Amino acid sequence: MSQVSSSTPSPVSTQSRHPWRATARTVFAAVVGAISLVPTIAVTAGVDTVPAVAQVVTVSAAVTRVLAIPAVDQWLRTYAPWLASAPRP
């Protein structure tokens, strides 16, 4: 049996190279999701928590997906570098 050797290192994800940026982006997405709950929080007793949790998860997932789009990441590098996936080169 032959062994396969690779002379090129495997690429490292930006989450591994810049873990604090990945954390900041996730926190940002979660905060946006939580902000969407303001109308729900204003409702008095009798509010079911399952739709509220589903709302936070859905909005956070949507924001995270948008942040993963390369054009959005390029825009973030220009206008919000602290939220970009990697620092400017």
Distance of CA 75 to the CA centre of its chain: 15
pLDDT tens column, 15-43: 667 777 778 888 888 888 887 776 776 66
pLDDT > 60? residue 45: no
Residue 36 neighbours by CB under 8 Å, 6+ apart: 55, 56, 59
The CA distance from 14 to 66, in Å, is 16
The CA distance from 58 to 36, in Å, is 10
Q: How confident is the model at residue 75 (pLDDT cuts 50, 70, 90)?
A: very high
